[in-house]
Chains A and B, each alone.
Chain A
């Protein structure tokens, strides 16, 4: 690591690179405006995350309903997941953010924040529902069989036996998707909203110093690390509770 740092800083063009990317004066200058713009990312992320947690679970449950009578629901759920995992997120945002208000239908909101949240919810519901589904299917079928044999209905066994186990198992990949969601809030800038990345672009185009990109990068990383450590702690605590008494 030290060797790498030494190799980079003693390269012949290091002064230019340092001035272009690591100019601390530029960093300090643009930090307040980019941090303020970052609040929009946080707002979008928090709202979207809350909705996605619920809708994705619903979608995953729909997809796992057994029997021919539920086939249309399973089909719809599968088609939804395929569609919204297939279209690039930035396309969905552009399609809905520009396209929906263009219809001019009375009552459709034109707010770019609204359509940014809706697009991210649509896309991430698809991804997160697959994560939940993996969790549900990883719970051994004997668990459901045992629950049913105790007299619980399908819904009750799902709610009290299968889902608690399933969700606990998939907390790390869930976090993975939510970190992805945090980063994708930057795409809402394509609709004209001035969020952290767009504000960084504005600063860069004013003085051509790329350090401003670094400012928005550090802000994004700054919210990721505590979240990741918190989830690590949650998982460790959960494992301790489930395996109480075991040495491993």
Chain B
């Protein structure tokens, strides 16, 4: 009996190994895939392609790598994979099983990304903060970055020496239309002068340089770019500590898009294995030191 059993067992083991080994080969060929989220099962705009939306110009530190000749992207090309948001997007894409070539970027102005309606992207990544009002018309992913607001001014002006939130009340502040920065001015700072509201952040920066506004409220990393490049004689007056819910960035999806479940799984993996922290360290390490205004 044993003479038959042992060869039978060996044969069975060999058959099982062959079967499992076969599947294992296929699994190993694809990059670290998220279970249940293979690219061909996902709800995508274009099959086999991950379409990501972001605004143009693509500013540092969110994007890097400079412009690519022949591409319409200004300042940086999101497809380089450099810059915080570009790196996070490609890390999520890789986690879902997409190759770099399968990721395409599409121009989406900020105002169009946060408005209701049919989206031309699978998700958009563009320093978009979660708010309950936006969550009613869009689907947000989990946080990929916790963000603080800050205020930028021109060096030498009186506002530049303000040390507290209350001290900002008497100045003319500005922010981009529809942003949490604008909400912050209206709900937390509550200045005595009606704030100026601009269609784009560039217009706000121009107004700051012209002295048409005294202070510009933007998120802290953007403030670093503004003072480093756009307004060389500018300085970050300070950042604001979060009170209550910490403001956080999320990727935005068409309302009800089931793709968010897989993207969230991917984000959680990236947080767990330290990839997200590494990306943050690479691109945002220099953009955290600013006095806190209370």
Partner among A101, A102, A208 whose Cβ is within 8 Å of the Cβ of B115: A208
B171 interfacial by beta-carbon distance below 8 Å: no
Are A192 and B136 within 8 A (Cβ)? no
Task: Say if the beta carbon of B21 comes within 8 Å of chain A.
Answer: no
Cβ distance B80 to chain A, nearest Cβ, rounded Å: 30
Distance between Cα atoms of A192 and B137 in the complex (Å)? 26
A96 CB to nearest chain B CB (Å): 12
Which of A43-51, A140-148, A197-205 has 4 or more CB atoms under 8 Å from chain B? A197-205
In the complex, the answer to whether B182 meets A98 with C-beta atoms within 8 Å is no
Give the Cβ gap from B132 to chain A, nearest Cβ, in Å.
11
- CB B157 to nearest CB in A, in angstroms, measures 13
Residue A192 contacts which of B178, B204, B209 (CB distance < 8 angstroms)?
Answer: B204
Shortest Cβ gap from A106 to chain B (Å): 12
**Least Cβ–Cβ distance between B168 and chain A, in angstroms:** 17
Instruction: Kindly state whether residue A185 has any CB partner on chain B within 8 Å.
Output: no
A190 at interface (Cβ–Cβ under 8 A)?
yes
B210 interface neighbour in A98, A193, A198, A206, Cβ under 8 Å: A98
Write the nearest CB–CB distance from A189 to chain B, whole angstroms. Answer: 8
B212 pairs with A207, CB closer than 8 A: no
Q: A110-B211, A112-B212, A194-B194 are in contact. Are A98 and B203 (CB under 8 A)?
A: yes
On whether the beta carbons of B111 and A205 are closer than 8 Å, the reply is yes
Q: Are A193's CB and B196's CB within 8 A? A: yes
Known: A190-B199, A192-B174, A205-B111. A102 touches B206 (CB 8 A): yes
Contact status B177-A201, CB under 8 Å = yes
| CB of B289 to closest CB in A, whole Å | 29
- Given contacts A101-B212, A112-B212, A202-B197, whether A191 and B114 have CB atoms under 8 Å apart is no
Do residues A192 and B203 form an inter-chain contact, with CB atoms below 8 A? yes
Chain A-chain B contacts (Cβ-Cβ < 8 Å), number: 61
- B133 touching A206 by the CB < 8 A rule? yes
Kindly state whether residue B116 has any CB partner on chain A within 8 Å. yes
- Residue of B with least CB distance to A190: B199
A98 touches B206 (CB 8 A): yes
What residues on A are CB-neighbors of B197 within 8 Å? 189, 192, 194, 198, 201-202
Q: Which residues of A are found within 8 Å of B206, using beta-carbon distances? A: 98, 102
Number of interface residues of A (CB under 8 A): 19
B-facing residues in A91-121 (Cβ within 8 Å): 98, 101-102, 110-112
Cα of A206 to Cα of B183 in the assembled complex, Å: 9
User: A-facing mask of B170-188, CB < 8 A → 1, else 0?
Assistant: 0000100110001100000
- The distance from the CB of B192 to the nearest CB of chain A, in whole angstroms, is 14
Q: A63 to chain B: closest CB distance in Å?
A: 35
A98 B207 Cβ-Cβ under 8 A:
yes
Chain A neighbourhood of B137, CB < 8 A: 208
Interface residues of B in 240-294 (CB under 8 A from A): none
Across the interface, which residues of A come within 8 angstroms of B116, CB to CB? 208
Which residues 109-168 of B sit at the A interface, judged by CB distance below 8 A? 111, 114-116, 133, 136-137
A205 partner, pick from B114, B198, B207, B209, beta carbons under 8 A: B114
Interface centre among B115, B133, B209, B212 (most CB of A within 10 A): B212
CA A193 – CA B207 in complex, angstroms? 11
CB-CB under 8 A from A101, the residues of chain B are 210-212
- Least CB distance, B116 to chain A, in whole angstroms: 5
Q: How far is the CA of A80 from the CA of B54 in the complex (A)?
A: 41
Interface status of B213 (Cβ within 8 A of chain A): yes
In the complex, which residues of chain A have a beta carbon less than 8 angstroms from the beta carbon of B178?
201-202, 205-206
Contact status A192-B133, CB under 8 Å = no
How distant is the Cα of A207 from the Cα of B116 in the complex, in angstroms? 10
* Complex Cα gap A112–B207 (Å): 9
Residues of B within 8 A of A191 (CB): 203, 207, 212
Which residues B180-229 have CB closer than 8 A to chain A? 182-183, 194-199, 203-204, 206-207, 209-213
A202 vs B174: C-alpha distance when bound (angstroms): 13
A208 and B133 contact, Cβ closer than 8 Å, known pairs A192-B196, A192-B203: yes
Beyond known contacts A98-B210, A208-B115: 5 more, CB 8 A cutoff: A101-B212, A192-B204, A194-B194, A201-B178, A205-B111
A–B complex contacts, Cβ < 8 Å, 17 sampled: A110-B210, A111-B212, A112-B212, A190-B199, A192-B174, A192-B197, A192-B198, A192-B204, A194-B195, A201-B177, A202-B177, A202-B182, A205-B178, A206-B133, A206-B183, A207-B133, A208-B115
Q: Which residues of B contact A (CB under 8 A)?
A: 111, 114-116, 133, 136-137, 174, 177-178, 182-183, 194-199, 203-204, 206-207, 209-213
